[in-house]
Amino acid sequence: MEAVSNFLASDLFYRFRKSPVAVIAFIVTALLVLSALFAPWIAPQNPFDPGSLNLMNGFSQPGVPNQFTGETFMLGTDDQGRDVFSTILYGLRISLFVGFSAVMFAMVLGSVLGLIAGYTGGRTDTIIMRIADIQLTFPAILVALLIFGIAKGITPPSYRNEVAIWVLILAIGLSDWVQFARVVRGATLVERNKEYVQAAKLIGRKPMAIMLKHILPNTLGPVLVIATISLALAIIAEATLSFLGVGAPPTQPSLGTLIRIGQGFLFSGEYWILLYPAVTLLALALSVNLLGDWLRDALNPKLK
Amino acid sequence: MSKTSTPAETPLLQVSNLTRIFDVSKPWLNRVVEREPKQFLRAVDNVSFEIRKGETLALVGESGSGKSTVAKMLVGLLDPSEGTILFDGQPMIMNSSERMMELRKRFQMIFQSPYASLNPRWKVADIIAEPMIVLGVEKDSAKIEARVDDLLGLVGLSAADGSKFPHEFSGGQRQRIAIARALSSSPEFIVCDEPTSALDVSVQAQILNLMRDLQDQLGLTYLFISHDLSVVRHMANRIGVLYLGALVEIADSKELFKAPQHPYTRMLLDAVPDLEMTGRQRKEVEGEIPNPINPPSGCTFHPRCPFANDRCKREVPLWTQTRTGVAACHGVEEGRIPSAEMA
Amino acid sequence: MTTPLLSVRDLVIEFPTRHGPLTAVDGVSFDLAAGEVLGVVGESGAGKSLTGSAIIGLLDPPGHIASGEIYLKGERIDNLRAEDMRAIRGRRIGMVFQDPLTSLNPLYTIADQLIETIRTHLRLSEREARQRAIGLLDDVGIPAASRRIDDYPHQFSGGMRQRVVIALALAAEPELVIADEPTTALDVSVQAQIIDVLKEQCTQHGASVILITHDMGVIAETADRVAVMYSGRIAEIGPVREIIQNAKHPYTSGLMGSIPTLAQEEDRLVQIPGSMPRLSDIPPGCPFNPRCDKVFDKCRVQRPALIPVENRQVACWLYEEATTNEVAT
């Protein structure tokens, strides 16, 4: 309770309230995340349970009763008679799950490597940061494609669909750890020379304890900002990979997969199969990104 | 060296020929391109002194004098390049051996900046309890809590302050918290590295008084590092003066201010702006501190010294017993420096 | 009576925050005579630097002058337009800051910067300006000035840089020099040299000085009068020697006692309990009342104005009676 009232009185919350962009971005993000979480209860049908589909409902227009069955679909249906609204909710789940997991993975990996590089210095630092530099010279999506390709090559075909999501998370995460490592290393270099770290060394604390208990908590601010901005990028990266056909399989379609499927119907007039998933992706990526931008400015008042 | 201590009692700390060299070379590639050799900085050069139980030894010096480097070596934050440190007769070798962990309980440090010396993410009570827990002084959590409350009271804060974070306190209060942390493992010896130089005068007075009270109460031994001679005069029994990494004079505090021997000490004393000296005409101070990477030959003070002669340019001066203590100066040794008795 | 060189009247500086404005300087008034050195002393947050910045029109936003007036030779300067203020700054008011690197541009030689300043404000040819610049550097004690003038700031040591800044401040023969902690970043032995140069040069050029510092020792050696600030107000203002030897305001006497001196060894320093209040909770009445050992009821309710006592002014209710009595007799 105290924590909540403290937060409501904090400068951060004050700045949040005073920024309409942040409030709107937060509401949009929250709505999307909640509807993804509660998709099974919100969605009118489970679009991937063949039993609940009726082919007669195929290509229903949004908001217009189907000419054969008389059923009305808010956002229309695809060729299989799947409700687009339901596919979006389920697709959102996959997109967000992959995005969150990939960012978490990148954050943990990058923070740990950055912390070790910054605190140990010397050769360890050089090796870690040179690897990071080399990776940065390739576009993240290329790195992800490469990792995805390798992973696909070494998994037996029968498992491919099952592990596809995890490979996707691994690929996006590995392509994104560098910025976490850089930020954490930078902050560690500043913190490790501060006197509170010396006070801990003085009483014989081990490097591991100093890194985790003293330095890490003081690098979390910028990490949080990067994580939020990375989330938007990871969602887009996932959509890109899926759109290219190397991401989420059609049995577990993400927003990117839906867009790929939808583009086939664009010129035959069934625009809604493409449009609504695309708008959802746009809204999600944009609002998360705006939230990240706002957070960066709010935690660093000197920029204003 | 200083022979003033009675032989029966071993000094708490014996420092002999302590030297620290830093490699300040440019990166390898730059050196190759610019054809420059490696560069070394002798931040601390052959420093020896003793600290007796219960006394306060102050080391004064300006920037580049190496005073903070000495402090860091004494508590194991830096390894000496040469020389030995004996703590209560035992060599200080900084590793995590059992013996060293026992030794670590017995010394502590108070840092300069009350802002950087407390972890901003930790509660005050956790900050104070950390040395106790890590060094295994106290294991029972109820006892730890009670002792943290005691310590907070001892430094003039209330037990309720333990649940706050450092940013809720003023600079002076934070320095009190830092003192409480230093006392947490019940040490005998505390290195104080410019503990009040970041504080305002009225707060400085509070902290200095508190440190003296604690010394009387707990029988602490202090090494007090400062650039401020008037603060040092107030705190120390004996004073060592550092110039460019070397000790130039050690003397009893009262004596040093009454009859400074080394020309550098005299210059310093003359330069300090003081309340009692409104409108006085001071002696012109010569020059500035040279670059410690390329120190002058012989006695490093000779380019600024009004009494310097050829010998001072050539030979590094050795310790000479003086009326008040010891000094490293050819002029003092030869008795050619007029006495500077101050009223 | 002649018009003072500088006159500050009821200066109030505020910082807007979401909880309402914070008053960092609250009703500061003082006069400065031509050729006088006024020391302004106080602890961090007392408002001494802000007062200096307000006079030269360099308050960092969002801080701003909420009310009050500043007059330079009877001419109001606090409400000037930015470009008019620029003409005064440098020309009529020179500045010396704590960190010489903030006043010197690292990309230009000393000559470039001095000559530019001189020629902006004085009608001199390039050649004459250079001569003048060398002369100025000579005066502030830079050895081989005619050669070193073409060096860059980083080629000078801290003390030498501060000398250059003093030369720069005096380049256009200003009437007033504001020195904000000019010696704080320097070593003791260098600090003494800089104080000497500052005082000597300002006297020679006939400039008045406002010397802002937390170091009472520096003020004792340099200033004619001193203003002691506390919580954005002047607690006491008067001749330096008298204030040091016989402070009237309880804060000033506490402050003087808390400074360890070389001259005598005291067992305990005088200690003022507590610390200066944050700007957000300055108590009503006299801001010093919670820490004062002579506090009485009135101090907690009513704010004391500066009351003339002997040859100085003190903002303390203790002296109210004394003056009324004097008036009565």
Neighbouring C-alpha atoms within 13 Å toward the C-beta of B89: 3
Chain C residues whose C-beta sits inside 8 Å of any chain B C-beta = 43-44, 157-160, 187-193, 195-196, 214-218, 220-221, 240-241, 244, 254-263, 265-266, 268-273, 275-276
* Residues A50, A73: Cα–Cα separation, whole Å: 17
The position carrying tokens 């004690």 is: C141
Res A19: pLDDT:
87
Helix (H) or strand (E) holding C116: helix C110-121
| Sheet of strand B56-60: strand arrangement | B107-110, B189-193, B221-226, B56-60, B238-243, B246-252, B325-328, B319-321
Res A26: pLDDT:
94
Are the CB atoms for B69 and B43 separated by under 8 Å?
A: yes
Look at phi and psi of residue C284 and say left if phi exceeds 0, alpha if psi is from -120 to 50, else beta.
beta
Whether the upstream peptide bond of residue A44 has omega within 30° of 0, thus cis, is no
* pLDDT average, residue stretch C195-201: 88
Comparing CA positions, the residue from A218, C44, A196 lying closest to residue B113 is A196
Range 197-216 of B in CB contact (< 8 A) with C: 200-206, 208-209, 212
Comparing CA positions, the residue from A112, A56, A106 lying closest to residue A81 is A56
* pLDDT average, residue stretch C104-127: 89
What single-letter DSSP state applies at residue B26? P
Res B327: pLDDT:
92
* Residues B239, B256: Cα–Cα separation, whole Å: 8
CB contact under 8 A, B205 and C270: yes
What single-letter DSSP state applies at residue C148? H
* Residues C269, B188: Cα–Cα separation, whole Å: 24
Q: Which residues of C touch B230 (CB under 8 A)?
A: 217, 259-262
* Residues A215, A209: Cα–Cα separation, whole Å: 9
What single-letter DSSP state applies at residue C225? E
Q: Which residues of A touch B96 (CB under 8 A)?
A: 204, 206
Res A104: pLDDT:
95
B268: CB partners within 8 A, 6+ apart? B60, B62, B229, B241, C188, C189
Q: Which residues of A touch B135 (CB under 8 A)?
A: 203-204
Q: How far is B228 from chain C (nearest CA, A)?
A: 8
* Residues A190, A7: Cα–Cα separation, whole Å: 27
Tokens read off for A230:
């990375």
* Residues B257, B259: Cα–Cα separation, whole Å: 6
Summarised one tens digit per residue, pLDDT across range A199-231 is 999 998 999 999 999 999 999 888 988 999 999
Res A257: pLDDT:
86
Min mean pLDDT across A138-142, B312-316, C237-241 is at: A138-142
Helix (H) or strand (E) holding A265: none
Min mean pLDDT across B1-15, B99-113, B145-159 is at: B1-15
* pLDDT average, residue stretch A65-80: 77
Chain A residues whose C-beta sits inside 8 Å of any chain B C-beta = 194-196, 198-206, 214, 217-218
Res B195: pLDDT:
93
Min mean pLDDT across A140-149, B172-181, C6-15, C69-78 is at: A140-149
ipTM of the modeled complex: 0.87
Res B53: pLDDT:
93
Res B3: pLDDT:
42
Comparing CA positions, the residue from C237, C239, C233, C275 lying closest to residue C254 is C275
Is residue B1's pLDDT more than 60? no
* Residues B255, B238: Cα–Cα separation, whole Å: 9
- Identify any residues that bridge with C208 across adjacent strands, giving them in sequence order: C176
* Residues C92, C176: Cα–Cα separation, whole Å: 6
Are the CB atoms for A273 and A260 separated by under 8 Å?
A: no
Using CB atoms, pick whichever of C214, C220, C276 lies closest to residue B273: C220
Res A115: pLDDT:
95
Chain B residue with minimum CA distance to A193: B116
* pLDDT average, residue stretch A59-68: 76
In terms of DSSP H, where are the helices of C122-260? Answer: 126-139, 145-148, 158-170, 188-205, 216-222, 240-245, 250-258
What are the angstrom distances between the C-alpha of C211 and each of A116, C176, C228?
48, 11, 12
Say whether residue B234 is in contact with chain C using an 8 A CB cutoff.
Answer: yes
Percent of chain C with pLDDT over 90: 40
Confidence of residue A66 (pLDDT cuts 50, 70, 90): confident
Tokens read off for B219:
């029988």
CB contact under 8 A, A195 and B117: yes
Are the CB atoms for C228 and C248 separated by under 8 Å?
A: no
Q: What is the pTM of this model?
A: 0.87
Summarised one tens digit per residue, pLDDT across range B246-272 is 999 999 998 898 889 999 998 888 888
* pLDDT average, residue stretch C181-194: 85
Confidence of residue B2 (pLDDT cuts 50, 70, 90): very low
What single-letter DSSP state applies at residue B86? E
Q: How is domain A20-41+82-303 classified at the CATH fold level?
A: MetI-like fold (1.10.3720)
Are the CB atoms for C13 and C63 separated by under 8 Å?
A: yes
| Helix C188-205 / helix C158-170 crossing angle, nearest 10 deg | 10
Summarised one tens digit per residue, pLDDT across range A266-290 is 788 788 888 898 999 999 999 999 9
Q: Which residues of C touch B172 (CB under 8 A)?
A: 275
Is residue A303's pLDDT more than 50? no
The structural domains of chain A, with segments of one domain joined by +, span: 20-41+82-303
Are the CB atoms for B78 and B69 separated by under 8 Å?
A: yes
Say whether residue B277 is in contact with chain C using an 8 A CB cutoff.
Answer: yes
The position carrying tokens 């005291």 is: C266
* Residues B67, B58: Cα–Cα separation, whole Å: 10
Using CB atoms, pick whichever of B76, B96, B181 lies closest to residue A199: B181
First to last CA, chain A: 32
Are the CB atoms for C232 and C63 separated by under 8 Å?
A: no
Res B5: pLDDT:
46
Comparing CA positions, the residue from C255, C258, C256 lying closest to residue C270 is C258
Q: In degrees rounded to 5, what are phi and psi of residue B197?
A: -75, -15
CB contact under 8 A, A214 and B116: no
CB contact under 8 A, B269 and C262: yes
CB contact under 8 A, C188 and B271: yes
* Residues C261, B275: Cα–Cα separation, whole Å: 7
Summarised one tens digit per residue, pLDDT across range A120-154 is 988 999 999 999 999 888 887 888 888 888 887 88
Summarised one tens digit per residue, pLDDT across range C247-292 is 999 999 999 888 887 776 667 888 888 888 888 888 999 999 999 9
Tokens read off for C114:
């001095």
Is residue A6's pLDDT more than 90? no
Q: How far is A196 from chain B (nearest CA, A)?
A: 4
Confidence of residue C2 (pLDDT cuts 50, 70, 90): confident
Res A297: pLDDT:
84
Is residue A108's pLDDT more than 50? yes
Q: How far is B230 from chain C (nearest CA, A)?
A: 5
Mode of pairing for the β-strands spanning C22-32 and C6-15: antiparallel
Res B343: pLDDT:
38
What SS3 class is residue A89?
helix
Are the CB atoms for B255 and B74 separated by under 8 Å?
A: no
What SS3 class is residue B290?
coil
Q: Which residues of A touch B108 (CB under 8 A)?
A: 202
What SS3 class is residue B188?
coil
* Residues A56, A73: Cα–Cα separation, whole Å: 13
Classify burial at B41, counting beta carbons within 10 Å of its beta carbon; exposed 0-12, middle 13-18, buried 19 or more: buried
Say whether residue B279 is in contact with chain C using an 8 A CB cutoff.
Answer: yes
Is residue A260's pLDDT more than 90? no
The position carrying tokens 């957070």 is: A295
Res C10: pLDDT:
93
CB contact under 8 A, A202 and B130: no
* pLDDT average, residue stretch B51-71: 92
Chain A residue with minimum CA distance to B131: A203
Give the angle C86-C90-C96 at the CA atoms, nearest 5°: 125
Are the CB atoms for A193 and B116 separated by under 8 Å?
A: no
* Residues A4, A8: Cα–Cα separation, whole Å: 6
Torsion angle of C-alpha atoms C283, C288, C289, C293, degrees rounded to 10:
160
What single-letter DSSP state applies at residue A298? H
Comparing CA positions, the residue from A213, A186, A11, A202 lying closest to residue B122 is A213
Q: Which residues of B touch A201 (CB under 8 A)?
A: 76-77
Res C322: pLDDT:
58
* Residues C37, C35: Cα–Cα separation, whole Å: 7
Give the angle B24-B28-B33 at the CA atoms, nearest 5°: 110
* pLDDT average, residue stretch C26-51: 92
The position carrying tokens 């947490």 is: B184
Q: What is the mean pLDDT of chain B?
A: 88
Res A98: pLDDT:
92
**Going from the N-terminus, what domains does chain B have, and what CATH number goes with each?**
13-236 (3.40.50.300), 262-343 (no CATH)
Mode of pairing for the β-strands spanning B82-87 and B56-60: unpaired
Q: How many helices (H) and strands (E) does chain B have?
A: 12, 12
Res C323: pLDDT:
55
Res C326: pLDDT:
47
Give the angle B207-B210-B216 at the CA atoms, nearest 5°: 145
Confidence of residue B341 (pLDDT cuts 50, 70, 90): low
Range 281-320 of B in CB contact (< 8 A) with C: 282, 284-285, 288-289
Res C211: pLDDT:
94
